[in-house]
Amino acid sequence: MIDIREIIIMPEKQQLPLNILRARGETRVFLEIGFGNGEFLVHLARQNPDAVFWGVEMSRSCVLRALKRIRREELRNIFLLCGDARFILKECLPKESLDGIYMNFPCPWPKKKHTKRRVSSGDFPSEIASVLKKGAFFELVTDEEWYGMEVRNVLAAHPLLELTEWKINPPRPVTTKYERKWMEMGKRIFLSRLQKKEAESSVGYRCLGRTEDVHIRVPGKGSLKKFVNDIHNMGGEKGDALWVYKRFYESAEGSAYIIETVAGDGSFEQKFFIQIVEREEDALIKIAPYSSPFLTDSVRGALEGMAHLIETHYLSIVSSCAASLEQPAGKAFSQ
């Protein structure tokens, strides 16, 4: 039986960007975004034992379902990442590293307030273009014609990508659970395939920043115990990002507090712990070392929001400075 640690890769415990070749030398590497129950990924991996297949999926239950399938088939060329592809591509994968990306029946996010979650939105097209090698492809199938056309048109307009196929009801090597569902309902399937035209001028990766680098110092002294007690269920929001402070834990000597925090960026939620350390003349706020969320807007917001609350409610300021980000310089918090 294959060890699950060989299949589910935890980016927070790995050196980033990930070694996506997984010690197979010069091999082809593919990614499926939103693999659901994993049957498409497993089919590809079975058919192409010399290639490596990565899957990224936001739903933990899907990751576990796919894991069962992979172990049953004893496949050693599949690796799974649990998280939001919008962040995983940016954080974990080197530029110019993939031979192909598949996306089967992604949610089309039809509501206006959810448009940011579409593949066609924000910097997702650039992230896709960035991680593909020259000549590599991005393929998306959907049952929604308007979404297929939107993805096709937006990605085809990207300077590094060109449209190579647009097909209705294409022949497919294997059907997915959602595909069968839509076909049984008599729906049509729309496929777009794009190719990366040229290599980018620079290589490397484009991470959001490391949480361990962000320390916020709030000068002053006050009752932090009362503070952490009072902020239970408080939080804030900024655009698509929102965060809530939950339970707190106190260190034995009472000079440090750990606050469980839940933060979301659109549909991507993370739970982590913020640590506040009381020092001689200030309080230091940082992400507790054993929790490693991606440094998204909501995680930054939670840290900066905490600093703002401490500063305005609980510290008698001993210095005239406002809360300052020690390193790297960060944005001022606004509500």
Ligand X SMILES: C[S@@+](CC[C@H](N)C(=O)[O-])C[C@H]1O[C@@H](n2cnc3c(N)ncnc32)[C@H](O)[C@@H]1O
Q: Which residues bind ligand X (CB under 6 A)?
A: 33-36, 56-59, 62, 84-86, 104-107, 176-179
Residue nearest to ligand X (CB): 34
Q: Least CB distance from residue 243 to ligand X, whole Å?
A: 19
Q: Least CB distance from residue 258 to ligand X, whole Å?
A: 29
Q: Least CB distance from residue 208 to ligand X, whole Å?
A: 15
Residue whose CB is less far from ligand X, 31 or 216: 31
Residue whose CB is less far from ligand X, 82 or 306: 82
Burial class (CB in 10 A: 0-12, 13-18, 19+), 61: exposed
* Orientation angle between helical segments 124-131 and 85-92, nearest 10 degrees: 40
Q: Least CB distance from residue 34 to ligand X, whole Å?
A: 2
- The three-class DSSP label of residue 127 is helix
Q: Least CB distance from residue 55 to ligand X, whole Å?
A: 9
Q: Least CB distance from residue 31 to ligand X, whole Å?
A: 11
- CA torsion angle 290 296 301 304 (round to 10): 60
Contact between residue 312 and residue 330 where contact means Cβ atoms under 8 Å apart: no
Residue whose CB is less far from ligand X, 180 or 279: 180
- Spatial separation of the C-alpha atoms in residues 296 and 121, rounded to whole Å: 17
Tokens matching residue 112: 């206006």
Contact between residue 304 and residue 236 where contact means Cβ atoms under 8 Å apart: no
Name beta bridge partners: 260.
273
Q: What is the secondary structure of 252-305 as a DSSP string?
A: TTSSEEEEEEEEEETTEEEEEEEEEEE-SSEEEEEE-TT------HHHHHHHHH
Residue whose CB is less far from ligand X, 114 or 221: 114
- Spatial separation of the C-alpha atoms in residues 34 and 56, rounded to whole Å: 6
Q: Least CB distance from residue 314 to ligand X, whole Å?
A: 37
Residue whose CB is less far from ligand X, 107 or 284: 107
Q: Least CB distance from residue 128 to ligand X, whole Å?
A: 12
Q: Go through the chain and tell me how many residues it has.
A: 335
- Spatial separation of the C-alpha atoms in residues 69 and 64, rounded to whole Å: 9
Residue whose CB is less far from ligand X, 159 or 171: 171
- Spatial separation of the C-alpha atoms in residues 43 and 88, rounded to whole Å: 23
Residue whose CB is less far from ligand X, 84 or 311: 84
Residue whose CB is less far from ligand X, 27 or 175: 175
Residue whose CB is less far from ligand X, 106 or 330: 106
Q: Least CB distance from residue 92 to ligand X, whole Å?
A: 12
Integer Rg of the chain from CA: 23
Tokens matching residue 114: 């959810």
Contact between residue 270 and residue 263 where contact means Cβ atoms under 8 Å apart: yes
